[in-house]
Structure formats: C-alpha cells, structure tokens
Amino acid sequence: MTNTTAIPPPTIDNYKKRETAQSKGTHGGSRNDHVTCTVQEPDHPLISIITIVFNGQQTLEHTILSIQSQTYSNIEYIIIDGGSTDGTLDLIRQYDRQINYWISESDRGISDAFNKGISAAHGEIIGMLNSDDWYEKDAVEIAVEKLKDSGADIVYGDLRTWDNDAKSEIVSADHELLDKEMSLNHPAVFVARSAYERIGLYRTDFRYAMDYEWLLRAKKAGLKFSSANRCLTNMRLEGTTNINWLAPLKEEVRAKNLITPKATNTIFYLYKTAKGFTRRILERTGFGFLVRFFHANVSSVRKMKAKD
C-alpha cells in the first residue's frame, strides 16, 4: 500500500501523435479524419461525450439513445471500442450517422480508452459516459449552464444506480471529500478541456481508480469544482468495479500516496476493506437494512433509496 511509483500522466499531444503513427483500427462516424461538422458557439459551446465499450451489445444502445434524447443540441459523440467480439460493432455501425467519430481496436485498458477519446474530441467540455450508463435528458444542458455560470473547471452531479430494471439508490457527490475517498461519480462529471490540457490525462498504470487519481490531482492543482446539485446520470450495478471491488480500493490508496502521501492513507484503506467485507456479509445474511441505514445516515458519501 506504500508504492508511489507511477509513470507521468500522458498529454493530449502525446496521444494525438501516437494515434497518428499507430492507429490501425476500424473507424467511422459522421466526420472524416477527425474533422468535426459541429461548431463552437459563445453561448452554446460544443460538448464532447465519450463512451468506451468492450462487448457491450446488450447495453450500448440505451447509452446511445440517451445522447440522442438530450435537451442540449451541440454535442459531439465519440465511441471508443476495445475490439469487441460480440455484436457491438454491428450496433455502432447501425448508428454511424448519429456518432461523430468511432474507432474499434484493442487498447491498453480503460485509461488508454479514455485518453483516446479525449484526444479525438473537439469540445470545450468533455463528459465520460460508460456503455452501462445513461444520462438524464437534461444532464448535458445542466452541466453546460453550471460550468458557464460558476466558472468552474469541473462540474459534477449525483448518480442513480439500477439493480437490473429497478431503481436502487441515489449516490451523493462532494468534491470536498476527495482527500478522504472517491466521493464523485465519474459518469456524472463534466470537465473543461482546458483542465486536461493543464494537468494531463488519465494515468495508464491505473486499471480501476484512474478517475479518482485524476480528480485528486485536479484538486491538488487548484482546479475549481462545482456541484450541479442534481442527479445527472444512471448506472447499472453490474459494472466491473462493483464486481471486483477490492482492486479499486488498492488503487485508491495508491493514488492518495501519489498525490497526498501520509500514513493515514493505509489506515483508511484497511478501514474501507473491513467495511466492504462487513457489508457483503450483512447483505448475504439478511441484514442488508443495516447497510442501507449506514449509507443513508452515517456514511460521508450518502446513498439514499431512489424514489419510484
């Protein structure tokens, strides 16, 4: 838990040069050779939404449709596919004219896919929406207005989780708690492009907590955060980090040791690990109501039962 070794974060220029030299993937979309047909407007800035996917045939269409139904119109949509082997690529081709740019090729993990998307984006504002997730219809409009009104570099909102087809919980968000733990919901975070230009992209030596490391880095660099005070995004609970929950915790403490090294980082990791095991034991033995009470009334990151 004390390893603080990491490669420097890559930059947008690093990725643009690499993609120009190395990219051999299948690609398409309504723009050609990264030339965008959308424009920047002073009061209506272009926002790029990036979806990364691998074998997401069952859920990706819902994600795509949530972009199409946004109340905000000046959106550039980018899909980065990791070389899917199911029907994902056929689905992407079905929506080829509604996607500004897509590419399908093997990558070096989630961070690499995020960075590819950012390097391909033209928007002043960038959002990341995974293939298991979907936006509220006014999410992009709210984020853009909040960024404009607050002058923030990063705007975030709450997240609604779904257990199969049933609403589960509303997960709160508070950037003031980032020094303690991952207290923002990455699919409900919108970032000014200038922030990525200032502090770099996602570290490719992180497989799970790359979003936490980046947000913690952003906070230490003095970037301005602002809450939308609204639920912006929905997420299915079947995602990777919900199944393999211990690995992200290990990377969270590694991120803290990189950005804000102190002895209490390891102590907090041990506490979170114990809490995680306790939660799962309680849920499996019929005492899940105690877990829900803790999340709703005690935990710093609140999880309230979602209303129908």
Element containing residue 51 per DSSP (H, E): strand 47-53
pLDDT for the residue 262: 85
155-164, 241-250, 258-267: which is most confident: 155-164
Phi-psi region of 298 (alpha: psi -120 to 50; beta: other; left: phi over 0): alpha
C-beta of residue 241 within 8 angstroms of C-beta of residue 153: no
Q: How many other β-carbons are positioned within 10 Å of the β-carbon of residue 75?
A: 19
* Residue ranges per structural domain of the chain: 12-305
Give me the residue label for tokens 């992209």. 201
pLDDT for the residue 177: 93
pLDDT, one tens digit per residue, over 2-60 is 444 557 899 999 898 876 655 667 888 987 544 445 566 668 999 999 999 999 999 99
pLDDT for the residue 283: 67
pLDDT for the residue 130: 95
Average pLDDT, the chain: 85
pLDDT, one tens digit per residue, over 114-153 is 999 999 999 999 999 999 999 999 999 999 999 999 999 9
How far is 228 from 287, CA to CA, in rounded Å? 34
Confidence band for 306, pLDDT divided at 50, 70 and 90: low
Give, to the nearest 10 degrees, the angle between helix 12-22 and helix 110-120.
90
C-beta of residue 111 within 8 angstroms of C-beta of residue 204: yes
Q: Could you name the CATH architecture of 12-305?
A: Alpha-Beta Complex (3.90)
Confidence band for 79, pLDDT divided at 50, 70 and 90: very high
